[in-house]
Amino acid sequence: MSGSHIFTRGSMTLHEMVKGEGIYLWSRDGHKFIDGSAGPICVNIGHGVKEVTDAVKKQMDEVSYVHSSHFTTKSVKDAADKLAELAPPTLNYVFFSCGGSEATESAAKMARQYHLLNNGPKRSKVIARWQSYHGNTLGALSMSGNIARRRRFAPMLVDFPHIPPCYCYRCWFGKTCDSCDLECARALDMQIRATGPEYVSAFISEPFVGATLGSLPAAPGYFQLIREICNEHGVLFISDEVMTGLGRTGKMWGIDHWETIPDIIATAKGLAGGYLPLGATIASDKVFEGFGEPFAHGHTYGSHPVVCAAGGAVLDYMVKHNLVENSRVTGEYMHKQLQDLYDHPSVGDIRGKGLFAGIEFVKNKDTKEPYDPCVGFNGRVVEQCYENGLLVYPGSGTIDGVRGDHIQVAPPLIATKEEVDLIIELLDKSIGEVEAQVL
Q: Which of 302, 315, 313, 309 is nearest to 71 (CA)?
A: 302
Q: Which is nearer to ligand PLP, 158 or 190 (CB)?
A: 158
Looking at the DSSP assignment, which residues form a beta bridge with residue 240? 266
Smallest distance from ligand PLP to CB 336, Å: 26
Of 164 and 290, which has the nearer Cβ to ligand PLP? 164
- Separation of alpha carbons 328 and 330, rounded Å: 6
Of the pair 73, 104, the CB lying nearest ligand PLP is at 104
* Nearer Cβ to ligand PLP (120/412): 412
By beta-carbon proximity to ligand PLP, the closer residue of 14 and 177 is 14
In the complex with ligand PLP, the residue whose CB is nearer, 20 or 277, is 277
Q: How far is the CB of 371 from ligand PLP (least distance, A)?
A: 24
DSSP 228-246: HHHHHHT-EEEEEETTTTT
For residue 22, the 8-state DSSP code is B
3-state secondary structure of 66: coil
Q: Shortest Cβ distance from residue 29 to ligand PLP (Å)?
A: 28
Residue length of the chain: 439
353: number of Cβ within 10 Å: 22
Strand, coil or helix: 44: coil
Spatial separation of the C-alpha atoms in residues 162 and 144, rounded to whole Å: 9
Nearer to ligand PLP, 192 or 211 (CB): 211
- Residue number, 162 or 363, with CB nearest to ligand PLP: 162
In this complex, which beta carbon is closest to ligand PLP, that of residue 240 or of residue 360? 240
Nearer to ligand PLP, 40 or 379 (CB): 40
Q: Is the Cβ of residue 20 or residue 139 nearer to ligand PLP in the bound state? A: 139
Q: How far is the CB of 433 from ligand PLP (least distance, A)?
A: 28
Segment holding 189, helix H or strand E: helix 183-195
CB closest to ligand PLP, residue no: 100
Q: Minimum CB separation from ligand PLP for residue 388, in Å?
A: 25
Q: Tell me the backbone φ, ψ of residue 206, rounded to 5 degrees.
A: -85, 130
Burial class (CB in 10 A: 0-12, 13-18, 19+), 91: buried
Whether the CB-CB separation of 362 and 386 falls below 8 Å is answered with no
List of residues contacting ligand PLP (CB under 6 A)? 40, 99-101, 104, 133-135, 206, 210-211, 240, 242-243, 268
200-205/236-241 β-pairing: parallel
State the nearest-atom distance from the C-beta of 203 to ligand PLP, in Å.
15
Closest CA relative to residue 415, chosen from 340, 325, 351 = 325
CB of 279 to ligand PLP, least distance (A): 6
Pairing of strands 390-391, 32-35: parallel
The Cα 271–Cα 44 span in angstroms is 8
Closest distance to ligand PLP from the beta carbon of 230 (Å): 19
**Minimum separation from the CB atom of position 385 to ligand PLP (A):** 20
Secondary structure class of 76 (helix, strand, coil): helix
Contacts of 190 (CB under 8 A, 6+ apart): 163
Q: CB of 412 within 8 A of CB of 435?
A: no
Nearer to ligand PLP, 98 or 359 (CB): 98
Helix/strand/coil for 4:
coil
Contact call for residues 264 and 238 (beta carbons, < 8 A): yes
- Shortest Cβ 109–ligand PLP spacing (Å): 15
CA atoms within 13 A on the CB side of 232: 13
Widest CA span in the chain: 63
Is residue 53 within 8 A of residue 45, CB to CB? The reply is: no
Least Å distance, CB 357 to ligand PLP, is 15
Q: How far is the CB of 28 from ligand PLP (least distance, A)?
A: 26
DSSP lists the bridge partners of residue 358 as 351, 408
